[in-house]
Chain A
Amino acid sequence: MFLRFVAAAVRFRRRRLLLAFSALSVAATLATALFSVYSDIERKMRVEFRGYGANMIVAPMGEARTLPLSAVARAEALGVTAAPFLYTVGSLRGEPVVVAGVDFRRAAPLIGYWHAPAPGTGECLAGTAAAEHFHLTPGAKAELDSGPCVVRAILSTGGSEDAQIVVPFTGNAASVIQVRADGERLAEIRAALAKVLPEGDVRLLHAVAETEANVVLKVRSSLYLLTALILAITTLCVSSNFSALVIERSREIGVLKAIGAAERKIAALFLSESLLLGAGSALAGYAAGLVVAWWIGRRIFPDSASAVGVDFGVFLPVAGVTLAVAAGATLAAAARIWSIKPAVILRGE
């Protein structure tokens, strides 16, 4: 009987309910998309900051000039990206020049901004200022005292590399080890590194680390505020729609009361109708929201390795919010059921 009432109510007021349903679905879609993006944004932003390269460097401690190469392996054991760099003063045509030995295989994630191919054995990169000074062009031979190399490409970074000749790393010592660690656990990793590398001075690159932390925090908190704002306003809007569902049916309530239905029973009727609608909206909105989140992830972070921004964990909060809105709005309006006098309503006053 109860079920038949609810089913019939839905059937007879299809269009009206469809509107309420779509409004709530839109809210659920938005909630899903925003929750998904928000839950993932920190990790995504931190990935973007990897392009800045190292956020720590390990320099020789005290008077030493180099670090043993074994330090790189010890650092890597902590799960960080670490690459050795060796700087020596070589000579080219009788003039001194800084020769940088770079382990391109390890350093690739740290020097993405070089936009230069990795030189093979017998090849090198010439910094733009060095190339200009020595009149080197790609393909030319640079007669370094440590052995000639063919210039693979010209390097322009705006940094100290511009005045250097970069060759593939050889040897078993490093002038400096550049390290990129997960921005979230930086302090912890720094302490761990200092412990396993007692011969090195582990320095945090404050500018990189702090800017990353700052920007990630600010983007996250603006997203947080906007999410809260959008959801609050959307829910308010939708709940007025649901309240109207009850209010506009005063006549029906009057009839039900006139034939002897208890107020609680009528309220339960309306509530189950709204909850049914809410559950449907939550499901539809959740599905649509995942698509929106997926699309946003695809568009903004196309090279992200993980499943782009889709977080299945957001279903519970979304369903919770949706059902709460439907139930809350209905119950708030259901207070009217008690005050409605059948005779007055049915007379049309």
Chain B
Amino acid sequence: MFVRFVSQSIRRSPRRKAMTVAAVAMGSAVATAMLGVMLDIGDRVNRELRSLGANLMVTPKGRALPVEIGGISYRPVTRDDFIPESALPKIKTTFWHLNIIGVAPVLRAEARIGDRVVPVDGRRIDVPADGHQCIVGSSLARRLHAHAGTELTLFGERFTVAKVLETGGEEEDCVQVRLDVLQRLTHREGQVDAVEVSALTKPEDAFAAKDPAKMTPAEYDRWYCTPYVSSIAHQIEEALPMTVARPVRRVADNEGKVLDKIRGLMLLISAAALASAGLTVWSVMATTVLERRAEIAIMQATGAANRVVAALFTAEVALEGAVGGLIGALAGTQLARWVGESVFQARTESPALLVPLTVLVAVAIAIAGAAQPLRRSLALEPAVTLRGDA
């Protein structure tokens, strides 16, 4: 009987029902799309920000104080301390290894070109296999009158300039060759002077500013298991005991600030969108009940208990909320993916939990929206409603 009532009601006015369901679906789609984008955007922007360069610098412990200006050392080179290259894979065994998206070892040396002392960096650069190619910073290239294809003599071997690099940074004043080639030429096989690490981090908050040495064990665990730049640095030092890992403040600090702003902005916009989606669903449901006051009155007049009428309408509204919510949630997930793809050229995977959650919330809001007008209608004398006086 109960089921028949509900299905009859849907069958008799399919257009009105479709409109209600569509309204709920639209509200849910906005909510899901917004949440999907919001939950993902921090991560995406974090990756974009990584193009600013390393946010952690790992150097050998007890290294002599460098006296360098613009890459040129003003102290006789005494390279006693180094990081063994063979130890680098250990960085990828730390707790937050999945957050470490780049590890770049550097070996530094100086070479004479004519009467000039030129800094030479050994890096894992992408040059053809024989390794006798180099990359020259554009500022240095101008002074040396070098361009792509020029030959340079470094450490008695001939190198071809593969390209001229323009970054604006210190790389502009130095020559880069392949790490293994420089190791061989400087007789420092298997050694590196520094490791630049690029990691996805959580912005440092008040908690991260505390001194880990003064934390309680519980706090320490929480700090250790949060990808703050300081805790990742700490874990790298644990994995490579011969090193000091320092956050590069210029990059690490500002990253946090920018990320916080973007996350906060998206959160508030989502809140506004969610509120309006909720209100929309609410008002649609209230309207449908309002329109069907006569029906309620007839049911009451023919002897239906208020409880039964309320249950009937609630069931109908809940059904509409569930169907609309499901359609909307699925569409919203697609929309979030589309936004992710067109802006960040990467797939946004909304958490799977988002769909059932949206459906539940849609049902709850639909029932809440219908409740008030339903109660009002039930409280009225059927005769009054049917006469059209209300």
Contact = CB atoms under 8 A, between A and B. Distances in A.
Interface of A: 15-16, 19, 22-23, 26-27, 29-30, 33-34, 37, 41, 44-45, 48-49, 51-53, 56-57, 59, 62-63, 87, 89, 95-98, 113-115, 128-130, 133, 156-160, 162-163, 175, 201, 203-211, 214-215, 218-219, 221-223, 225-226, 229-230, 233-234, 236-238, 240-241, 244, 248, 292, 295-296, 299-301
B65 A48 contact: no
29 contacts: A16-B290, A19-B286, A22-B279, A34-B272, A37-B265, A44-B261, A57-B168, A89-B69, A95-B65, A98-B67, A115-B249, A156-B246, A156-B249, A157-B250, A158-B246, A159-B249, A163-B67, A204-B168, A205-B168, A219-B262, A219-B265, A226-B37, A229-B33, A229-B339, A230-B34, A230-B273, A234-B280, A237-B27, A300-B268
A292 B69 CA distance: 51
B169 A207 contact: yes
Contact of A234 (B53, B74, B276): B276
B276 A29 contact: yes
A206 B165 CA distance: 11
A222 B41 contact: yes
Nearest to B252: A158
B68 A160 contact: yes
Given A214-B51, A218-B48, A218-B344, A240 B19 contact: yes
A207 B52 contact: yes
Contacts of A229: 30, 33, 335, 339
B386 to A, nearest CB: 13
Contacts of A115: 249, 253
B264 A300 contact: yes
A205 B268 contact: no
B237 to A, nearest CB: 14
B112 interface: no
> Chain B's interface: helix, strand, loop or mixed, by majority?
helix
Nearest to B233: A158
B65 A292 contact: no
Interface in B16-64: 19, 22-23, 26-27, 29-30, 33-34, 37, 41, 44-45, 48-49, 51-53, 56-57
B218 interface: no
B283 interface: yes
A113 B249 contact: yes
Contacts of B258: 45, 48-49, 51, 215
B126 interface: no
Contacts of A52: 52, 250-251, 254
B248 interface: yes
Contacts of A203: 139, 166, 168, 172
Nearest to B264: A300
A301 B265 CA distance: 9
Given A162-B246, A299-B268, A51 B51 contact: no
B257 A22 contact: no
A301 B57 CA distance: 31
Interface in B240-270: 246-254, 257-258, 261-262, 264-265, 268-269
> Chain A's interface: helix, strand, loop or mixed, by majority?
helix
B143 interface: yes
Nearest to A92: B65
Given A97-B65, A233-B27, 19 more contacts: A22-B279, A41-B265, A48-B261, A59-B139, A87-B69, A89-B74, A95-B65, A97-B67, A159-B57, A211-B49, A215-B262, A229-B339, A230-B276, A234-B26, A234-B30, A237-B23, A237-B280, A248-B291, A296-B272
A156 B233 CA distance: 14
A163 B56 CA distance: 16
B250 A226 contact: no
A297 B268 CA distance: 10
Nearest to B345: A218
A205 B52 CA distance: 10
A293 to B, nearest CB: 9
B303 interface: no
A237 to B, nearest CB: 5
Interface string B317-347: 0000000000000000001000100111000
B328 to A, nearest CB: 9
Interface string B197-229: 000000000000000000000000000000000
Nearest to A289: B272
B357 to A, nearest CB: 19
Contacts of A48: 254, 257-258, 261
B66 interface: yes
Given A23-B279, A248-B291, A300-B264, A218 B249 contact: no
Contacts of B276: 26-27, 29-30, 230, 234
A207 B51 contact: yes
A172 B52 CA distance: 32
Contacts of B254: 48-49, 51-52, 113
Contacts of B26: 233-234, 236-237
B10 interface: no
Contacts of B29: 233
